[in-house]
Amino acid sequence: MKIAIIGTGAWATALAQVLSDNGHSPLMYGIEASQVEDINHFHRNGAYFGPLVIHPSIKATSDLSLALKEAKVVILCVPSGAMSKVCLTLNEALDHRVTLVNATKGFTDKNERMSTIIKSSINREKRYPLVSLIGPSHAEEVIQRHLTAITATSKSKRRAAIVATIFSNPYFRVYIQKDEVGAEIGVAMKNAIAIASGIIEGLGLGDNARAALVTRGLSEMTIFGRHFGGKLKTYLGLTGLGDLIVTCYSFHSRNFKAGLAIGKADDATNFLATNKTTVEGIRAAKTIYELALKHHIDTPIVNAVYAVLYEGAQPSIMINKLMQRPLKEE
């Protein structure tokens, strides 16, 4: 099956290899000529994986029409901030109906979930019901074929099952679930919690503090997500607890590493001024803070992260304030 992947980043490359291992023909579309050449001529994506050789059947192109030609499945794998523009371009370029898969976690700059902006930007006659391929997964491990379990989340159980079958193999297991709202909020909100986890590690506050942070962070995610219609079961699964754990404890996580740098400096100023990587938790913290304020939802951890990132608050002082809040039942 020909499958188009929009993006040539780390996660796009890892998913392309999963598909190649499963006997499909992925064609990646990217705007970075050096990455396209690296994939086609040297069977690697050195910008993300150094000299690691990837599946030789993976191809890349800078021609969107070529990538989409005769593709049965189109996978969106771009930064959340670029999703709106990419979808509008895709809507113009598509000339047939495809199975559309979102592989991006986060919120848009208008505080929208990924599925919301995708559905509103791409005409219904050009796509089947949207499926989001999300859950606890680091590209650095998937590219090495380490065991991974994620979800195919969609309001259409049938379409989710099709996507799960396309991707699943002995090292990559895909579960089906229908809670689109809860899952998308979970995998986006955990990025902000992961920044807090990195800050705690950077400040050297120990395992007890991080255990408390992750546990209370899960509670915060659940309360926030359920307010918008998410299901409790979702936050105890792969797109809740699972993604929270992998992001809060792994040095593969850009969000954790961002928090680590901020914690070591006990200040976010230098990191924000010099960072050149995509850290989805920065945008997520702003979105959640604004939505929580609007809907009167208590999100103390995310509020503290927002204060550090956007108001110049000192991380150690914000942690002290969190610990000194009025006592209450768990």
CATH of the domain at 8: 3.40.50.720
How many domains in the chain?
A: 2
Q: Which of 183, 290, 292, 196 is nearest to 249 (CA)?
A: 196
**Residue 215 CB coordination number (10 Å):** 13
Do 16 and 109 lie in one domain? The reply is yes
Catalytic-role residue among 105, 190, 231, 257: 190
Do 225 and 240 lie in one domain? The reply is yes
Whether residue 39 contacts residue 28, with contact meaning beta carbons closer than 8 Å, is answered with yes
Which residues make Cβ contacts (< 8 Å) with residue 126, sequence separation at least 6? 91, 94, 96, 97, 98
H/E element holding 205? none
Domain boundary among 137, 154, 178: 178
Which residues make Cβ contacts (< 8 Å) with residue 54, sequence separation at least 6? 13, 16, 17, 39, 43, 44, 45, 143
Do 173 and 36 lie in one domain? The reply is yes
Q: What is the CATH number of the domain that holds 231?
A: 1.10.1040.10
Question: What are the backbone angles phi and psi of residue 170, rounded to the nearest 5°?
Answer: -60, -20
Do 194 and 280 lie in one domain? The reply is yes
Can you give the pLDDT of all 330 residues of the chain as single tens digits? 999 999 999 999 999 999 999 999 999 999 999 999 999 999 999 999 999 999 999 999 999 999 999 999 999 999 998 999 999 999 999 999 999 999 999 998 889 999 999 999 999 999 999 999 999 999 999 999 999 999 999 999 999 999 999 999 999 999 999 999 999 999 999 999 999 999 999 999 999 999 999 999 999 999 999 999 999 999 999 999 999 999 999 999 999 999 999 999 999 999 999 999 889 999 999 999 999 999 999 999 999 999 999 999 999 999 999 999 999 999
Strand partners, 172: 148, 169
Do 195 and 84 lie in one domain? The reply is no
In a domain, 16, yes or no: yes
In a domain, 248, yes or no: yes
H/E element holding 296? none
Do 106 and 233 lie in one domain? The reply is no
In a domain, 303, yes or no: yes
Do 127 and 32 lie in one domain? The reply is yes
Question: Strands 73-76 and 148-153: what pairing?
Answer: unpaired
In a domain, 329, yes or no: no
In a domain, 159, yes or no: yes
In a domain, 237, yes or no: yes
Torsion of the alpha carbons at 211, 212, 218 and 221, rounded to the nearest 10: -140
Domain boundary among 142, 162, 178: 178
Do 203 and 132 lie in one domain? The reply is no
**CA 201 to CA 199: how far, in whole Å?**
5
Which residue has 């898969």 as its token pair? 101
Do 32 and 122 lie in one domain? The reply is yes
**CA 45 to CA 48: how far, in whole Å?**
6
Do 158 and 264 lie in one domain? The reply is no
Domain boundary among 162, 178, 194: 178
In a domain, 164, yes or no: yes
Q: Is 105 a catalytic residue?
A: no
**Entry pTM:** 0.94
Whether residue 181 contacts residue 113, with contact meaning beta carbons closer than 8 Å, is answered with yes
Do 163 and 18 lie in one domain? The reply is yes
Which range of residues forms the domain containing residue 23? 3-178
